[in-house]
Chains A and B, each alone.
Chain A
């Protein structure tokens, strides 16, 4: 086994930011807005680094697809303990239409190229909430998948994964190489410390173009409109039960 783990990290708008829709309803405002690593990607990185600290795997490679700024996200992963990074350059219009299918193709190509034993991703991104990339990548690679992982343990060339499902917890055992997606309770990601941030500056980030991996970025999806949820209206007080029933009928509620 190569002992190499690939971790996908996505740069998204920070979870604490209040999202605003652009006036032309074409998307949300991203200019000047704080971005950070997707929280589920942080958990994925933490799990990979933990495996390395337990000496169960040898190398952690952080991958991000996006514009120049995605390198900051890779640097954060390096500060958390990843060994090196791969920045797949996607910018401009291509970046605006970049979605799970294209990212999956990129991840699949890299996983093969890097001879990865495991590919760990966050279960979903907090901007699109797609929850698709892990599953699509596994399908493209024809690898087993352990999604919504809340516990991962390596056992020779197999991986035991406890998955969070609607009914409770499901435990599966899959062979490697495999794709895992991290759920919330998998671990608590470490903070990047200053000494580690400084060390991370010296770690290498390779630049790759999607075309080099033979991936076509054309999107089959077109965003028609983005809208805010309806504003919450003030309540109305009524005097009698009859008034209440009348109002409910008026607004078609009953």
Chain B
């Protein structure tokens, strides 16, 4: 049995002894036959327990947290180490089987749907945290490690990994989707914080994008392969290790809330706060529709108007200065009800509205599904795009709540819709396209954080233009000539 990793790392995976004799039933008979043929080879690599044909398991691995319908793979494999990933990939390559990497399934753009069937590589059993170097502020993790698991591991070192997309996502998955979060304004996104990747390509070759074990804080060596794979959404290779940049845990934190009479006033404050050099950690915008939903859901009583939620990190003295400067700026923009808090309990209470936003939005129409749009524009265009978007929502008779990472010019429209109302779904779809095009017209992007996945491929073409798309396609053709890596995503 091919095994490059120690026996002790085996974990319980779904048992499928009863199903060993079952063969694959799927849309394409040719592909079904191909998958059947390799099943025993798969089992000899990752063990009987490491290969699953179970319908429930395949369905679980064919969808994420988006509204895109489930597209199950033909088989799910659970490799335990990079050598197994490589061997499995080689087999898929030889038999022309699509390869879909799977981390935690918490994506928002349908990235794990197996549109052409194939083999889903669930990487959750590779869950080691390797090579922590506290003095160098770096750590390397395998795909089964989530960001909360890493931060728990680091809790006695005084270090943390701050990128926080909300979900407890796989860090390698976050690298694959170039994830971001509420504190990107201070700590950056995955693009700025991934130092090196170990990647298995479609033909099974294993590469280290910055060289094996290398972790200098900066480099000028060769093409930037690391950032080529960051955001590639599984279409160029399987990420089996990522080396991450760590930061010191904030000494103290202060949270604040402030209401404004208009979106413009809130955004103006944001721009001025950044211009004043305040190293603000989080600055979130909620529109009055969102605040109203939050008030109802969490029994709060915020003024129902555009609101900023702020968070400051630093030493006690620096916080005092940051908060004073910020309060002055918000006041000069007509901000009111400025509240701030230091201790954990009150801070959590102040931010509760923001934390519960997703659920509060859904609670406005029980039984409905929620979907978040995700565009990003230069800061100066934010008021205009938010105002126009809100007008569009009213005209289209849609329920939408605006939540924005205003420090980055990125905002989400949390739409709530009745999944059985085809007309409403259609209107939501059209609205989303208009919104993306509105952002593109303002020098922005159709996706600030969530990725292209299945739904934004044509928007990507509009965004970067035909010449750049051609280059992207050339890269894809060069690295994955058989188009086995997560087909149907990013590029049309």
Alpha-carbon gap, A148 to B294, bound state (A): 35
B15 close to A (CB within 8 Å)? yes
Q: Is the CB of A238 closer than 8 A to any CB of chain B?
A: no
Interface centre among B17, B248, B249 (most CB of A within 10 A): B249
Query: Which residues on A sit within 8 Å (CB–CB) of B315?
Result: 195
In the complex, the answer to whether B153 meets A34 with C-beta atoms within 8 Å is yes
Which residue of chain B has the shortest Cβ distance to A200 in the bound complex?
A: B158
Q: How far is the CA of A16 from the CA of B315 in the complex (A)?
A: 30
Whether a CB of chain A sits under 8 angstroms from the CB of B387 is: no
Determine if B15 and A234 form an interchain contact, defined as CB atoms under 8 angstroms apart: yes
B149 adjacent to chain A (CB < 8 Å): yes
CB-CB contacts of B214-252 with A at 8 A, as 1s and 0s? 000000000000000000000000000000000011110
Confirm or deny: B115 has a beta carbon within 8 angstroms of a beta carbon on chain A: no
Partner of B153, one of A16, A191, A194: A16
Q: Which range holds the interface residue count of chain B? A: 20 to 34
Chain B: minimal CB distance from A194 (Å): 4
A193 pairs with B153, CB closer than 8 A: no
Chain A neighbourhood of B12, CB < 8 A? 232
Give every chain A residue within 8 A of B248 (Cβ-Cβ): 193-195
Interface residue B317 (Cβ < 8 Å from any Cβ of A): no
| Residue-wise interface mask of A (186-212) relative to B, using a CB-CB cutoff of 8 A (1 in contact, 0 not) | 001001111111000000000000000
A138 to B156, alpha carbons, bound, how many Å? 30
A232 contact set on B, CB distance < 8 A: 12
Q: How far is the CA of A161 from the CA of B248 in the complex (A)?
A: 35
A20 near B: Cβ within 8 Å? Answer: yes
Q: Mark A86-116, 1 if CB is under 8 A from B, else 0.
A: 0000000000000000000000000000000
Is B344 part of the contact surface with A, judged by Cβ < 8 Å?
yes
Let me know if A18 is at the binding interface, CB within 8 A.
Answer: yes
Q: Are A36 and B156 in contact (CB under 8 A)?
A: yes
A237 vs B149: C-alpha distance in the bound complex, in angstroms?
Answer: 36
* A196 CA / B315 CA spacing, docked (Å): 11
| Segment 109-168 of B: residues with Cβ below 8 Å from A | 149, 152-153, 155-160
Which residues from B are CB-within-8-Å of A237?
A: 18
CA distance A76 to B152 in the complex (A): 14
A32 → B minimal CB distance (Å): 11
- Provide the bound-state CA to CA distance between A234 and B14, in Å: 9
Bound CA–CA A234/B248 (angstroms): 46
Choose from B15, B155, B159 the contact partner of A194 (Cβ within 8 Å).
Answer: B159
Chain B residues near A197 (CB-CB < 8 A): 157-158
Say whether A18 contacts B11, CB under 8 Å: yes
Question: Within B414-462, which residues are at the interface with A (CB < 8 Å)?
Answer: none
Q: Is B27 an interface residue (CB 8 A)?
A: no
* Least Cβ–Cβ distance between A238 and chain B, in angstroms: 13
10 further A-B pairs in the complex, CB-CB below 8 A; given A192-B157, A194-B248: A16-B149, A16-B153, A18-B11, A36-B155, A188-B344, A193-B250, A194-B249, A232-B12, A234-B15, A234-B17
Closest CB pairs A-B (n = 9): A194-B158, A194-B248, A197-B158, A191-B249, A234-B15, A76-B156, A193-B251, A193-B249, A192-B158
- Please list 30 pairs of residues, one from A and one from B, whose beta carbons are closer than 8 Å in the complex, sorted by A's number: A14-B153, A16-B152, A18-B11, A20-B8, A36-B155, A36-B156, A37-B156, A76-B156, A79-B158, A188-B344, A191-B155, A191-B160, A191-B249, A192-B156, A192-B157, A192-B158, A193-B158, A193-B248, A193-B251, A194-B158, A195-B248, A195-B251, A195-B315, A196-B158, A197-B157, A197-B158, A232-B12, A234-B15, A234-B18, A237-B18
